[in-house]
Amino acid sequence: MKKHIWLSLPALALCLLLAFGTSAAAFSDVPAGSWYGPAVTEMERAGLISGYPDGRFGPRDPISAAQFVSVAVRCAGLQPVQGQTGHWAAGALQTALQAGWYDWDEIPPTGERFDQPISRQLAVKILMRSQLPQARGDYITESQKMRDLSQLDGRYYEPVLAAYAAGIVSGDSLGNFNPKSGLSRAEACILFQKALKLSGHSQNTSTPAPEPQPAVTVRGGVSENGWLQVIGTQLCNEKGEAVVLRGLSSHGMQWYGQFAGRQSIQNTARYGANLFRVAMYTAENGYISNPAAVKQSVVQAVDAAIANDMYVILDWHILSDGNPMTYRNQADAFFSEMAERYRDQPAVLYEICNEPNGGVTWEANIKPYAQQIIRTIRSRSPRAVVLVGSGTWSQDIHLAAQSPLTEKNVMYTLHFYAGTHGTDLRQRIDQVLAAGLPIFVSEWGTSRADGSGGVFLTEAGQWLDFLDQRGISWANWSLCDKNETSAALRPSTSPNAVWGPEDLSQSGAFVFSRLSS
Ligand code: IDC
């Protein structure tokens, strides 16, 4: 069992302490009857802010970028990640940057502006993106409320107008917003308090506010973690602790099912895997043309993973058949049977459409398909986690984010190949995480997207670091000995032997080294 400490509770407390000094029940310089008194007290009681060591809060001091962002991260329930400098708030600022709350040039991660007062326009942008990402304001209506609209830089129009529309800001007595001035710590408290109230009230609308993320990430198998659940954007175990699953995906079961037996799966467990993915192609001589035999090999693979105390993804591997609606009835019958069979089995996760592609849309094809199949699965196995793909070979998570499913314990798959996909797709992950969409990388490769080329281990390393920092689970394509660079095993490896380093391909050696780290 390995424990990955993202940030211990004392470290978190320290960040807060540094953000606002020590905690005190009441601040000597915050009169109860002042305009900011109730907000400051409420935020302090909720553990979101605290004062200076001498018992003051400093309500009229300008709030710095680092202080403001730290509170935003805390209010959003996110964890600081590895920062780029030794500054006390570097981790929180990195979290916020990666979440897309502001751009690199607005608060460079190199730190030179961390301790400078934050401008009102930037503060409002960070506030709205972090706490109320769905909020919008009508230009014609809201712009009339700002006498000094011409002072506002273009990139802040959207969040500032949304903040006006939500009643979070209203301008000074002259009707000016003063976008380039700073704001005081007391004003910041009021802004956060208003936004938090609104996000709390809007929890029943389309995107739920992210819930606090657990500080400790555990690995381990099914006996340790039990039924999985999705809390906010994080996969968690039965106790509600963040859990990360890592492992290999089979190649097509109709071709390389021999590498999905007990010994092969156990070999990956010995390197630290707690997950196996069973890729059941539907087309290409897969389940649709040969249902009985393919299903039997799939059930054997699922049982082999369970025997190894591992989580296992049952993957309906659409590929050349790009539209999940094509074989919807077969999928419904298959998942009905499997969810019944594994109804008492916390190990099984259901991936209901590997990679929709071609002329499919989220609204017309994938979402209605997912709604039906989720209903079918949940009527048999109510607690099962379901993984849902999106268009363009499961890269269009941003389109799913515009109209997410309302069912609980659903995650959205994102697939990447290190030789083809990079920064743009990673940015997309951060955008949708900030919007509350839980992500599971159920397939990725060290090769190009065609399964060959490379291997691209530097790029793959960047990807895995990125996923690690966000507690995102993954399965690597693929556990087989095919002569293609994405295959983890050298040609002619025996599926029934204990594997040593000489059996692993370049890709396999890299991937296996990252299973336990
Ligand atoms: C590839 C296999 C390759 C096979 C091909 C077509 O590596 O041997 O000939 O499928 O069946 C995916 C798919 C996955 C692909 C993989 C690499 O989910 O089935 O496997 N890939 O091309 N999406 C992006 C890449």
Q: How far is CA 279 from the centre of its chain?
A: 23
Is pTM, for the whole model, over 0.75?
no
410 sits in which H/E element: strand 410-417
Mutate to test the pocket of ligand 1, among 352, 443, 489 (most ligand atoms within 8 A of CB): 443
| pLDDT tens-digit series, residues 476-509 | 999 999 999 999 999 999 999 999 999 999 999 9
**Ligand 1 centroid vs 452 CA: distance in angstroms?**
9
| pLDDT tens-digit series, residues 109-139 | 999 999 999 999 999 999 999 999 888 988 8
Annotation says 443 is catalytic: yes
Name the residue at shortest CA distance from atom 4 of ligand 1. Answer: 451
Q: What angle do CA 315, 396, 196 make, to 5 degrees?
A: 105
Q: Which of 142, 187, 351, 443 is catalytic?
A: 443
Strand locations in 282-341 (E): 311-317
pLDDT of residue 171: 79
Q: How far is CA 49 from the centre of its chain?
A: 26
Annotation says 158 is catalytic: no
| pLDDT tens-digit series, residues 360-381 | 999 999 999 999 999 999 999 9
Instruction: In whole angstroms, give the CA distance from residue 513 to residue 509.
Output: 6
Residue 473 has pLDDT above 50, yes or no: yes
> Could you tell me if the CB of 484 is within 6 A of ligand 1?
yes
User: C-alpha dihedral over 14, 15, 21, 23, to 10 degrees?
Assistant: -60
Average pLDDT of the residues in 146-155: 91
User: Minimum mean pLDDT among 29-38, 72-81, 461-470: which range?
Assistant: 29-38
Query: Residue 302: what are its φ and ψ, rounded to 5°?
Result: -60, -45
Residue 501 token pair: 């380093």
Residue 352 token pair: 């209901």
Q: Which of 44, 106, 142, 355 is catalytic?
A: 355
Residue 235 has pLDDT above 70, yes or no: yes
How is residue 113 annotated by DSSP? T
Residue with tokens 């029940």: 25
Mutate to test the pocket of ligand 1, among 352, 450, 483 (most ligand atoms within 8 A of CB): 450
**Ligand 1 centroid vs 281 CA: distance in angstroms?**
10
Residue with tokens 């190949």: 417
> Could you tell me if the CB of 449 is within 6 A of ligand 1?
yes
Name the residue at shortest CA distance from atom 19 of ligand 1. Answer: 319
The residue type found at 505 is: S
Q: ω into residue 505 within 30 of 0, thus cis?
A: no
**Ligand 1 centroid vs 450 CA: distance in angstroms?**
6
| pLDDT tens-digit series, residues 48-62 | 887 887 889 999 899
User: Minimum mean pLDDT among 62-71, 194-203, 469-478, 489-498: which range?
Assistant: 194-203
What SS3 class is residue 350?
strand
Number of the ligand 1 atom closest to the C-alpha atom of 281: 19
Question: Would you list the DSSP string of 24-67?
Answer: -SS-TT--TTSTTHHHHHHHHHTTS----TTS---TTSBPBHHH
- How far is the first Cα of the chain from the last one, in angstroms, to the nearest whole number? 12
Beta partners for 229?
Answer: 236
